[in-house]
């Protein structure tokens, strides 16, 4: 790719907005996921009796908590995908259109 074109892309205000918005959202999602995972792991490490508490039968509290974490992961992936296919794609297309106008293609 031409270095001049790369500089035009990097200096494009819409591209800067896309990078800033996408990065901020990705970090928020990452932090949320890490909090859930580490809370689970730390509970296992320091208070295993909590997750080992029986719910009346053979099932312990740890089983629904583990299932929740799996569903939470799918929900987070779905939320990111929905936003990526909406807002982020719109910003990407805006950048492409602005660059086409700028370079005259």
Q: What is the pTM of this model?
A: 0.80
Name the residue range of residue 41's domain: 27-103
Give the confidence band of 53 by pLDDT, cuts at 50, 70, 90: very high
- Please check whether residue 93 lies inside any domain of the structure: yes
Number of domains in the chain: 1
- Please check whether residue 31 lies inside any domain of the structure: yes
Please give the sequence-ordered ranges of beta strands (E in DSSP) within the chain, or none if there are none. Answer: none
- Please check whether residue 6 lies inside any domain of the structure: no
Query: What is the per-residue burial (b if ≥16 Cβ within 10 Å, else e) of 3-29?
Result: eeeeeebeebebbeebeeebeebeeee
Residue 85 to residue 99: CA distance in whole angstroms? 21
- The residue that leads in pLDDT, 9 or 24, is 24
- Please check whether residue 21 lies inside any domain of the structure: no
pLDDT of residue 2: 82
- Please check whether residue 17 lies inside any domain of the structure: no
Task: Give the contacts of 68 (CB within 8 A, at least 6 positions apart).
Answer: none
pLDDT at residue 1 tops 80: no
* Residue range 58-93, pLDDT digits in tens: 999 999 999 999 999 999 999 999 999 999 999 999
């Amino acid at each position: 790719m031409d270095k001049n074109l790369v500089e035009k892309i990097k200096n494009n205000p819409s591209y800067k907005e896309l990078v800033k918005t996408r990065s901020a959202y990705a970090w928020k999602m990452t932090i949320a996921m890490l909090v859930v995972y580490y809370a689970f792991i730390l509970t296992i490490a320091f208070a295993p009796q909590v997750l080992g508490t029986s719910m009346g039968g053979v099932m312990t509290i740890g089983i629904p908590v583990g299932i929740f974490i799996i569903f939470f992961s799918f929900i987070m992936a779905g939320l990111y995908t929905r936003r990526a296919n909406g807002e982020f794609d719109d910003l990407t297309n805006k950048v492409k259109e602005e660059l086409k106008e700028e370079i005259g293609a």
